[in-house]
Amino acid sequence: MILESPLLASAGLKPRLFFKWATLFTFVVAIFLSVAAIAGLRFGLMILIGLGFGATLEGFRFGFAGPWRAMITKRDPAGIWAQLLAIGMVAIFAIPLIENYSSEITGAVAPIGYAMVLGAFVFGAAMQVVLGCGSGTLVNAGSGNIVALIALPFFALGSFLGAYHLFWWTDLGVLPVQKLTGWGGVGITLLMICFVAIALWWKAEPQFRRIPKRLIFAALIVSFLALANLVVAGQPWGVVYGLGLWVAKGAHYSAIDLSGSVFWAAPASLDRINASVLTDYTSLTNIGIMMGAFLVAFWRGGVSQPVPKLRIIAWVWAAIAGLLMGYASRLAFGCNVGAFFSGISTGSLHGWVWFIAAFIGSYVGILLRPRFGLDI
């Protein structure tokens, strides 16, 4: 039994609410201090950034797959506008930072090629089947969504396999890397964002031609966290590499030979495989996202969600979609976070091509989801 406290009463805090906040704060501080003590301050900051991403995405319902679905099915562009707002704010700072500190900070730059376009298309379709992109699957899994919990390990396996075969796919043909730099690059990026935003306004239903305040606030937080990720880690926010790395570590410690993969046998990859997961930036933000979503769900009343009454074949399709998402994301050089959000905001033109291909794929995924028995 929690006793009433005159001090808490005078501060306007209910005892149960106070202890809930105190428990949450203590947990976050303990996680930060533990990682910082084991791996170093920079890695402690990365787990905090990941926690912030997870809490924001779950707490404000800020995502990627859902807003794309809303635009396609209801002509509601609010969520995509919020994504573009966050991307634009990051681009204003990130593109000049990368140009001025190129030896310390890198962008999410990748070439455009056949495999990249195919991968983005397949990823867009698969994410609508499971109703979650890379970050969305992590958030949904952290908050107790059963479909996401099924899809996530297959997503990780697919990411590992996609990286394993990556160079075979890129050998099919890629264009030279194209990127926007300097303030001119910032201006072009903002103009392209405005063009897309206006096109969405033109296609939107009249009642949806506004952005809810919660999404504006969420976009501000996400952009701040993305910039923090860029400065602290020296690289943009990403998701899929960390998931594939976890499987690669499992394969390595299970004595599975990875020498047949140009990607995983590369010295840099082997260094990551042998190092602690607490020293991998992407792994830390991924873990933080799940933990942040878990904390928000716990705050709301618990992470247990009802198990959907799906046929066995629907669960199989969820697993297959997760596998395809992971595999396709490696061919496409990222998911909605690594390719779309971070790609565009750091000046890579492949992010725009990814956006178009994945959006078309989303149309297909929305049509396939009920056929796979996942709409109930």
Rounded to two decimals, what is the model's pTM? Answer: 0.91
CA-derived radius of gyration, the chain: 21
Alpha helices, H only, the chain: 6-10, 15-39, 41-59, 65-74, 78-100, 114-130, 134-142, 146-164, 166-170, 182-203, 213-233, 240-253, 267-274, 281-300, 312-331, 342-345, 350-371
What 3-state class would DSSP assign to 204? Answer: coil
SS3 category, 225: helix
Q: Which of 336, 339, 357, 335 is nearest to 348 (CA)?
A: 339
Domain spans in the chain, listed from the N-terminal domain onward: 18-371
pLDDT at 23: 81
Contact 347, 180 (CB under 8 A): yes
Spatial separation of the C-alpha atoms in residues 189 and 178, rounded to whole Å: 13
Torsion sign (Cα): 270, 273, 278, 281: positive
Distance CA 315, CA 312 (A): 5
Structure confidence at residue 302 (pLDDT)? 66
By residue count, the chain amounts to: 376
Token pair belonging to 349: 């033109």
Structure tokens at 321: 């979609």
Q: Provide the CA 202 distance to its chain's centre, in angstroms.
A: 28
Structure confidence at residue 12 (pLDDT): 53
270's tokens? 């082997």
Tokens found for residue 12 = 């306007």
User: What is the rounded distance in angstroms from the CA atom of residue 56 to the CA atom of residue 66?
Assistant: 15
Tokens matching residue 171: 């050998």
Backbone angles phi, psi at 239, to 5 degrees: -135, -55
Q: What are phi and psi of 258, to 5 degrees?
A: -105, 10
Q: Where are the beta strands (DSSP E) in the chain?
A: none
Q: pLDDT tens track of the chain, all 376 residues? A: 344 444 445 455 567 777 777 888 888 999 999 999 999 999 999 999 999 999 999 999 999 999 999 999 999 999 999 999 999 999 999 999 999 999 999 999 999 999 999 999 999 999 999 888 889 999 999 988 888 889 999 999 999 999 999 999 999 999 999 999 999 999 999 999 999 999 999 999 999 999 999 999 999 999 999 999 999 999 999 999 999 999 999 999 999 999 999 999 999 999 999 999 999 999 999 999 999 999 998 888 766 666 777 788 888 988 999 999 999 999 999 999 999 999 999 999 999 999 999 999 999 999 998 888 777 5
Alpha carbons 104 and 210: distance in angstroms, whole number: 39
Helices 281-300 and 15-39 cross at an angle (nearest 10°) of 170
Beta partners for 179? 348
